[in-house]
């Protein structure tokens, strides 16, 4: 198989077809074993081969949007031997990674960003009088994001800065692409009339068969000769060459787990069941997704209540402000989104929802450590950032029953935003409470306890296990689940003040974490209780399984036990 892009230059048309077939077979075999993004890469094989024959990476800059379609690029740039470690701890990233190869210039998994990167690269090359080319491969789904159009507005206005935009149009992001742009591209596929790209000042080449390497090369070389901003419109089929992917109507096997992996009940499935039940009870409940109805658990709701389900495309900022408008109109919107993607709409949450005290519920899937998708997907920022939003209530359920309960409490709030967060993980067994004080659940009470473990969300099980170990070492412990972690419940502070040491355990970043906020509140009340944060370091963490990452940072039972004992020793 090809191990250097330069090797492609010597291949005949028939040999290139063989290379494409070999790459598809390789992807199916390897990704089925490790898990990963299969469908998008099967559809980008010939396109990536043609790109590397026409352009010369890394001299020419190749950008992929989104980065999950870059597996073929990794293969062609010498990383095929690493695919057995794909998305494993210490192994090959599932996205472009600057630390892996000089051929990867950005680390991106969030959609709609590559054209802005391309605009910046092109400006830099123009200022430095460089002859290097800039090529951005963007999926049609990513064009539903507003940031892509902000970039096109700039790129199209600079005729002297040639940027080649390769539109990989397979009609899908996860599911079929929706909205006016999707409809416009559908017309272009068959009619080729004057189009929106030309109106923005870009040349247009296509549509071209995205699985014909010869046609692709002709189109790309034509784009180079034009020496101006140009869109090359390539028609591809997601999952091409693999019947199970081509026949999968949901998402063309967009992302798969390892073959043979047992299907377990997920937090997402619990949410999916409960939001559908709530929707049946309340006609004011509407749901919003940013192109991720199935992954975010809204497929059932959409099937049952299609008129109350809104897919806005990969447009998180628009989703949040649209939700504010829905709330102003008398509905109660539920925005189901990955935690990492809410980062993109914090301004809208703050100024468009919270400032207007609108009742919008945000359900953050993949909160905390997510695992194999790596630093761009870890949802470790939300519970550090969101507590600063005035009037916002933030909940972190410990088990499925608690998720159902907190979701219902959230949608009952009518004077401001609410957030419910949960991880990408198997849903645990329900953990009963000894009693409730205020909004908090006391999970364990030990006579004479001087230590209070504040167990945030799904880390409750590890805290209870640590409490058992500490008790065996004659350290009695109280374990409490705050349920709502912002704002801090006064009953939580009263309980904390009755202990010598309080340790809040959570999978968010240390700055802004609950432990620090408890310490600040206790100090303001004049308490001499020592409160500490036990969370994740404020840095980007690599990919590995959720369990491996939590264990590496001491957020398992053994690590919690050790931390408590060290803290007690420091106090003595």
Structure tokens at 452: 């209070």
Beta-strand relationship, 285-289 and 477-481: unpaired
| Phi, psi angle pair for 428, to nearest 5° | -80, 170
Q: Is 242 annotated as a binding residue?
A: yes
What SS3 state is found at 27? helix
Q: Is 14 annotated as a binding residue?
A: no
Q: Active site residue: 238, 240, 398, 404, which one? A: 238
Closest Cα to residue 463, out of 473, 450, 452?
Answer: 452
Q: Active site residue: 46, 217, 274, 316, which one? A: 316
Closest Cα to residue 64, out of 102, 24, 108?
Answer: 108
Q: Is 142 annotated as a binding residue?
A: yes
Helix (H) or strand (E) holding 87, with range, is: none
Q: How far apart are CA 303 and CA 281, in angstroms?
A: 16
Q: Is 56 annotated as a binding residue?
A: no
Q: Is 472 annotated as a binding residue?
A: no
Q: Is 527 annotated as a binding residue?
A: no
Contact 458, 423 (CB under 8 A): yes
Is 344 among the catalytic positions?
yes
Structure tokens at 238: 């997601």
| Phi, psi angle pair for 494, to nearest 5° | -65, -45
Q: Is 332 annotated as a binding residue?
A: no
Residue ranges of E strands in 173-269: 203-209, 230-235
Closest Cα to residue 456, out of 402, 522, 412?
Answer: 402
Q: Is 109 annotated as a binding residue?
A: yes
Beta-strand relationship, 530-536 and 501-509: parallel
Q: Is 20 annotated as a binding residue?
A: no
* Matching residue, tokens 């949960």: 422
Q: How far apart are CA 363 and CA 373, in angstroms?
A: 20
Q: Active site residue: 87, 344, 398, 546, which one? A: 344
Structure tokens at 400: 């499925």
Helix residue spans in 63-161 (DSSP H): 71-74, 114-127, 146-155
Q: Is 136 annotated as a binding residue?
A: no
Catalytic residues: 238, 316, 344
Residue numbers belonging to the annotated binding site: 68, 109-111, 140-142, 170, 242, 316
Residue numbers belonging to the annotated binding site for Mg(2+): 140, 170
Residue numbers belonging to the annotated binding site for thiamine diphosphate: 68, 109-111, 141-142, 170, 242, 316
């Amino acid at each position: 198989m090809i191990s250097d892009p330069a090797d492609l230059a010597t291949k005949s048309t028939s040999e290139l077809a063989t290379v494409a077939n070999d790459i598809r077979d390789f992807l199916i075999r390897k990704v089925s074993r490790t898990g990963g993004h299969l469908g998008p890469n099967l559809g980008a094989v010939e396109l990536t081969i043609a790109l590397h024959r026409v352009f010369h990476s890394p001299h020419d800059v190749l950008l992929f949007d989104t980065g999950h379609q870059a597996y073929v690029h990794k293969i062609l740039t010498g990383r095929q031997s690493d695919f057995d470690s794909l998305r494993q701890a210490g192994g090959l990233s599932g996205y472009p990674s600057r630390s892996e190869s000089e051929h990867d210039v950005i680390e991106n998994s969030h959609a709609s960003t590559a054209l802005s990167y391309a605009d910046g690269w092109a400006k830099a090359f123009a200022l430095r009088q460089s002859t290097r080319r800039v090529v951005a491969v963007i999926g049609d789904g990513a064009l539903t994001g507003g940031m892509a159009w902000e970039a096109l507005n700039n790129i199209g206005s600079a005729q002297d800065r040639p940027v080649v935009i390769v539109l990989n149009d397979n009609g899908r992001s996860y599911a079929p692409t929706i909205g006016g742009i999707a409809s416009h591209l559908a017309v272009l596929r068959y009619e080729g009339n004057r189009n929106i790209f030309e109106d923005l000042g870009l040349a247009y080449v296509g549509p071209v068969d995205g699985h014909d390497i010869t046609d692709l090369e002709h189109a790309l070389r034509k784009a180079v000769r034009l020496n101006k901003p140009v869109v090359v419109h390539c028609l591809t089929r997601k999952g091409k060459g693999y019947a199970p992917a081509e026949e999968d109507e949901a998402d063309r096997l967009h992302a798969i787990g390892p073959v043979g992996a047992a299907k377990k009940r997920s937090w997402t499935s619990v949410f999916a069941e409960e939001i559908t039940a709530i929707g049946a009870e309340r006609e004011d409940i509407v749901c919003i997704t940013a192109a991720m109805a199935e992954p975010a658990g809204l497929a059932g709701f959409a099937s049952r209540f299609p008129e109350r389900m809104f897919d806005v495309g990969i447009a998180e900022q628009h989703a949040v402000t649209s939700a504010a408008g829905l709330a102003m109109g008398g509905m109660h919107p539920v925005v189901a989104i990955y935690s990492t993607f809410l980062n993109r709409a914090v301004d809208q949450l703050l100024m468009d929802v919270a400032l207007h005290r609108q009742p919008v519920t945000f359900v953050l899937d993949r909160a905390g450590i997510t695992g194999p998708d790596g630093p761009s997907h870890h949802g470790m920022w939300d519970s550090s950032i969101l507590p600063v939003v005035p009037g916002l209530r933030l909940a972190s359920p410990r088990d499925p029953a608690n998720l159902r309960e907190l979701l219902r409490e959230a949608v009952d709030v009518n004077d401001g935003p609410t957030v419910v967060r949960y991880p990408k993980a198997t849903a645990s067994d329900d953990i009963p409470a000894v009693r409730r004080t205020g909004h908090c659940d006391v999970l364990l009470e030990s006579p004479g306890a001087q230590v209070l473990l504040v167990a945030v969300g799904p880390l409750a099980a590890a805290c209870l296990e640590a409490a058992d170990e500490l008790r065996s070492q004659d350290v009695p412990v109280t374990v409490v689940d705050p349920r709502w972690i912002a704002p801090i419940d006064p009953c939580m502070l009263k309980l904390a003040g009755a202990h010598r040491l309080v340790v809040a355990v959570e999978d968010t970043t240390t700055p802004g974490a609950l432990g620090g906020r408890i310490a600040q509140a206790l100090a303001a009340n004049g308490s001499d209780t020592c409160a500490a944060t036990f969370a994740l370091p404020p840095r980007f963490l690599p990919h590995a399984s959720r369990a491996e990452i939590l264990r590496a940072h001491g957020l398992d039972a053994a690590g919690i036990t050790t931390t408590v004992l060290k803290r007690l020793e420091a106090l003595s």
